[in-house]
Amino acid sequence: MDALLISRLENLVRKHGEIAGQLAQPEVVADQARFRDLSRAYADLTETVQAFLRFKKLLADYEGAREMTREADPELSTLGAEEAKALEPRLESMERELKLLLLPADPLDRRNVILEIRAGAGGDEAALFAADLYRMYSRYAERSRWKVELLEESPTGLGGLKEVILSIAGEKVYSRLKFEGGVHRVQRVPATEASGRIHTSAVTVAVLPEAEEIDVRIEEKDLRIDRFCSSGPGGQSVNTTYSAIRVTHLPTGLVVSCQDEKSQIKNKAKALKILRSRLLQLEEEKRMAELSTTRKAMVGSGDRSEKIRTYNFSQNRITDHRIGLTIHRLGDILDGDMGMLLDPLVESFQAQRLEEEFAKVVAG
């Protein structure tokens, strides 16, 4: 590892210690906003600092083994050479890990998400596949020990979903799901197709980082609130009380409706939660527009018009078109085992970022 990287890491270790000292000061503990910001900064640095300390120990072991190779005793010299050879790949792996940790962090990576799934072209078959994706993401969240909250859904009579909106909360949810936004295409034989002909349908997915009130301030004067009777399957309150809420954000024209709760207040709170995240997403899209064209070519812009993935049931195949990845374990992935799909995607993105950062260093 070059001296510049070592120097940066040593500075982070010092900064980490300074923040720890500040967090112990009574005046900082009394200031909730400052304490929260410092706690986040401390947590953000901890992983990098701990990895660097492990690297330094491993490096010391490696240098010790190299020193043994200079021993006059042939047996000790051979032992040192074997140990050094065994440690080399571990050092290379840890050095790459540290370089990744030093990349500028996406400020949204630690956020929870609002996940929106909508049936597109394909009618009932698209709605059924939207329900499949809802189950896939819910099962993956369960495996990841994340919390899923249903915010809104529009079911069809055949068990499909025209639309479903979820809140998913947990550790670094957005960092894992942020590349899921786009068009998901499905190719399969519908149960109602007597001839066995394969149909192609599409579902759009949007992944919005959940906004906090301090991120997006919404003025009451900018909102139009409409109240109406709930519609859809079942429930004593459906079509009898004005509990459903439609919120229109006048400056942008964004509209959010919620009717899952019997309480008008709860529906309004859910609608505002979704609205904040959509407004934050508008700001994020502006930021994404400033990214390099090479990165956008690799991961896409997240625009819902882009086909990102194909699910082919007859071949038990799922293909991610952005990185050319094909996996013949469609059933497992739809059952929530998404790691085999998401890990290569995240790694490709990280590799691209490393190349970009290296290009910046070379350019001066």
- Residue pLDDT, tens place only, 202-226: 999 999 888 776 567 778 888 888 8
Cβ 52 vs Cβ 12: under 8 Å? yes
How confident is residue 127, by pLDDT bands cut at 50, 70 and 90?
very high
Tell me the pLDDT tens digit for each residue of 51-72: 999 999 999 999 999 999 988 8
Helices assigned H by DSSP within the chain: 3-23, 26-30, 32-68, 74-102, 124-143, 173-177, 264-288, 293-299, 330-334, 339-363
Report the pLDDT averaged over residues 85-100.
87
pLDDT at 329 over 70: yes
Quote the pLDDT of residue 74.
Answer: 87
CA–CA separation, 255 vs 250, rounded Å?
Answer: 9
Dihedral angle sign, alpha carbons of residues 19, 23, 27, 31: positive
How confident is residue 241, by pLDDT bands cut at 50, 70 and 90?
low
Of residues 170 and 242, which shows the higher confidence score? 170
Quote the pLDDT of residue 33.
Answer: 86
CA–CA separation, 61 vs 87, rounded Å?
Answer: 8
Report the pLDDT averaged over residues 293-297.
41
Between the alpha carbon of residue 58 and those of residues 34, 102, 327, the distances in Å are 36, 19, 36
pLDDT at 347 over 60: yes
Percent of the chain with pLDDT over 70: 86
pLDDT at 120 over 80: yes
Q: What are φ and ψ of residue 325, in 5° steps?
A: -95, 130
The burial class, CB within 10 Å (0-12 / 13-18 / 19+), for 170 is middle
Quote the pLDDT of residue 351.
Answer: 79
Report the pLDDT averaged over residues 161-170.
92
How confident is residue 148, by pLDDT bands cut at 50, 70 and 90?
very high
pLDDT at 318 over 90: yes
State which of 88-92, 195-199, 285-289 shows the largest mean pLDDT: 88-92
pLDDT at 281 over 70: yes
Of residues 57 and 242, which shows the higher confidence score? 57
Largest CA distance in the chain: 92
How confident is residue 360, by pLDDT bands cut at 50, 70 and 90?
low
Radius of gyration of the chain (CA): 25
Q: Among the listed ranges 91-95, 318-322, 357-361, which one has the minimum average pLDDT value?
A: 357-361
Q: Among the listed ranges 45-54, 55-64, 247-256, which one has the minimum average pLDDT value?
A: 247-256
pTM of the entire structure? 0.66
How confident is residue 293, by pLDDT bands cut at 50, 70 and 90?
very low
pLDDT at 236 over 70: no
CA–CA separation, 286 vs 214, rounded Å?
Answer: 19
pLDDT at 299 over 70: no
Percent of the chain with pLDDT over 90: 40
pLDDT at 191 over 50: yes
Query: How far from the centroid of its chain's Cα atoms is residue 169's Cα?
Result: 11
DSSP 78-137: HHHHHHHHHHHHHHHHHHHHHHHHHSPPPTTTT--EEEEEEE-TTTHHHHHHHHHHHHHH
Q: 225 has which bridge partners?
A: 247
Quote the pLDDT of residue 146.
Answer: 96
How confident is residue 234, by pLDDT bands cut at 50, 70 and 90?
very low
Q: Residue 82: which residues within 8 A CB-CB, separation 6 or more?
A: none
Quote the pLDDT of residue 161.
Answer: 92
